[in-house]
Each structure stands twice: as structure tokens, then as C-alpha cells.
Amino acid sequence: MWWFPNLKAIASFGAGVDFLFQDKSLPADVPITRVVDPVLAADMSEFVIGVILAQLKNLLIFKTVQSQGKWLPMEYRRISEVAVGIMGLGELGARLADDLVRIGFKVRGWARSEKFLNGVSCYAGEQDFDAFLSGSELLVCLLPLTPDTRGILNKDLFLKLPEGAYVINVARGGHLVDQDLLEVLDQGHLSGAFLDVFAQEPLPANHPFWKHPKVDMSPHIASVSDVNSVVPQLLENYYRLQKGKPLINQVSTTRGY
Ligand code: NDP
């Protein structure tokens, strides 16, 4: 970004800023802001709840067998029986946790720092990671992509989940080690995965995820910044910058999120 010598701030139009930190020419002294928006959080929560309910009630399987002309009654699971684990209890993860608790799920969450959320069993840091994973039958990734979290959805993690667990990645493709997921799905330890985000988007046509019977996908659409909701935040920061006031929703350059 050296070609913008008068740049005063960089505003990401989404919640994630990982793409900015990957830019080697990112100036160190220019503040970065991101979107923090209740509409974005609500959209994400609604999407993940939709995926979870579809999984509990086998809806995606019924759609597949319908196209094959098969009548296939299957056992379903009840909300009250299922423990959902959320990796990342920030703006999006905390909203999802709250909604899931209200619907009646058992909810556990994991973050870097200690959290106290109503009805949620909270775990923090590396020391709590295994305990968090061991009780997460449905695992949702809502972490930011940073050097610490890149590749975190790997074989080691999957094998610490209960037998038959289901993984939902709605954060970033860089969190997932694709080959590890395929291996663990084929070995049968995981029952399936839902992926909204991918290391390369659009997902290349020859990628094994497309045709894998245990992988369901959407095209990075879980939650999209709403222009009407987000533009006022950008304007607010523009005016703050002009008046020399601190910016809202500023990202920590040391943490990378
Ligand atoms: P936040 O920054 O508000 O929250 C991030 C959470 O992750 C925090 O709880 C933080 O812990 C935790 N965390 C970060 N690093 C670690 C770590 N190393 N170990 C454990 N926990 C960690 O982010 P948002 O909730 O706003 O967004 C999350 C991500 O969702 C975005 O970065 C983006 O990639 C993705 N996203 C995807 C969309 C889609 O359509 N698929 C749409 C929007 C966002 P602590 O609280 O202790 O700091």
C-alpha cells in the first residue's frame, strides 16, 4: 500500500482482517478497523442454527436420497441432547452461543481469554482446549485467522472430539487442513462436516470436497456485511479521524484480530 502515502486508516468491510495482515506492504502505523455489527452477528447465528438443525434432523441426507428415489427413515437427535462447542467467543461466537442456549442446546465455548456467558460452559486457552473438545459433539469454528489459529482444524483436533462429531467451519478456509478432514471423515471418526469457507475460493472444480458424501458446503455466504448497517460505522470513523478522536472497532495489530 506504499502507493497511498497519505493513507490515514484502513477499514475492512467485513469482520475478518486476515487478508490485510497477509499483505506484505501493509504499513505498520496505519490503524485498521473492522465491522462489528449486530446484523452480521444475527445473520451468522441464523445460518449456523440452520446447519445444526439440518444435521440433527438429517435434512441434507433426505434431500440426497430423495434425488435417488429412496425411502430412508433415520433416527434423529433432539436439541436438548446435543452439546455444541464454539471456537471463538467474540462478536459472532458469543451471539451464537446465546441463541443456542435460548433454543435449549448444551453450549460450551472456547476463547483466548476467560469469559462468563449465561448458560455457556466457557473454556480458555491451550490448557482448556482438550477438555473443551472432548465434550463438543458439534464443533463450530468462529475464530479469526491468525498465525496461532491457521491449520487449527487438523487431525489432532478432530481425534479429540467425541466419536461421530460433526464439524462446521464458517470462519476461514485457512483454519482447516483439508487432507486431515478427508482422512478423518473416511476413517469414520467424524460423522460429517459443513464448510462455508475454503483455502481457495471459489473451491477448485477438482477438489474432493465437491463430491464427498460426508461434506456439505455453501459458497462463503454464512453472513455478509449489510451495506446499510455497515456504512454508518465507516462514516463514524471518517468523522472521528477528522476530529482526531479514537476510532471504533479498531483491530489489534499485535493480536492480528
Ligand atoms: P472477534 O475478534 O470478535 O472474536 C474472535 C474470538 O476468537 C475471540 O473470542 C477470541 O478470544 C478468539 N480467539 C482468537 N484467537 C484465539 C486463539 N489463538 N485461541 C483461542 N481463541 C482465540 O471476531 P468475530 O466474532 O467478529 O469474527 C470471527 C471470524 O468469523 C472473523 O475473523 C471471520 O474470519 C469470520 N467470519 C466469517 C463470515 C462468513 O460469512 N463465513 C462472516 C463474518 C466473519 P478473546 O475473546 O479472548 O480475544
Residue with the nearest Cα to atom 30 of ligand 1?
171
Task: Please give the average per-residue pLDDT across 8-25, as a whole number.
Answer: 94
Residue with the nearest Cα to atom 35 of ligand 1?
171
- The percentage of the chain sitting over the pLDDT mark of 70, rounded to a whole number, equals 99
Angle of the 59-67 helix axis to the 38-56 helix axis, nearest 10: 60
Tens-digit pLDDT profile for residues 175-196: 999 999 999 999 999 999 999 9
Three-state secondary-structure class, residue 36: coil
Residue 96 is placed in which grid cell? 451464537
Residue with the nearest Cα to atom 45 of ligand 1?
112
Residue 242 is placed in which grid cell? 477528522
Q: Residue 1: its pLDDT value, please?
A: 58
Residue with the nearest Cα to atom 18 of ligand 1?
148
- The percentage of the chain sitting over the pLDDT mark of 90, rounded to a whole number, equals 96
Task: Please give the average per-residue pLDDT across 55-67, as a whole number.
Answer: 96
pLDDT band at 242 (very low <50, low <70, confident <90, very high): very high
The CA distance from 64 to 1, in Å, is: 47
Task: Please give the average per-residue pLDDT across 224-237, as a whole number.
Answer: 95
- Hey, what amino acid is at 163? E
Task: Please give the average per-residue pLDDT across 249-257, as a whole number.
Answer: 96
Tens-digit pLDDT profile for residues 24-51: 889 989 999 999 999 999 999 999 999 9
Q: Residue 52: name the closest of 161, 181, 138 by CA.
A: 138
Ligand 1 center to 144 CA (angstroms):
4
Tens-digit pLDDT profile for residues 65-77: 999 999 999 999 9
Ligand 1 center to 3 CA (angstroms):
30
Phi, psi angles (nearest 5°) of residue 208: -60, -20
Ligand 1 center to 255 CA (angstroms):
11
Say yes or no: CB of residue 132 within 6 Å of ligand 1: no
Tens-digit pLDDT profile for residues 147-159: 999 999 999 999 9
Ligand 1 center to 66 CA (angstroms):
37
Which atom of ligand 1 lies closest to the CA of 221? 40
Return the residue matching grid coordinates 433415520.
Answer: 74
| Residues tagged active-site | 172, 220
Residue with the nearest Cα to atom 37 of ligand 1?
171
Q: Is the pLDDT of residue 2 over 90?
A: no
Say yes or no: CB of residue 196 within 6 Å of ligand 1: yes
Say yes or no: CB of residue 45 within 6 Å of ligand 1: no
Q: Residue 3: its pLDDT value, please?
A: 74
Q: Residue 169: its pLDDT value, please?
A: 99
Q: Residue 5: its pLDDT value, please?
A: 86
Ligand 1 center to 109 CA (angstroms):
12
Global confidence as pTM: 0.97
Q: Residue 183: name the closest of 208, 147, 216 by CA.
A: 208
Answer yes or no: are the C-beta atoms of 13 and 32 closer than 8 Å.
no
Q: Is the pLDDT of residue 200 over 80?
A: yes
Which run of H or E residues covers position 127?
A: helix 125-134
For 75, other C-beta atoms within 10 Å of its C-beta total 5
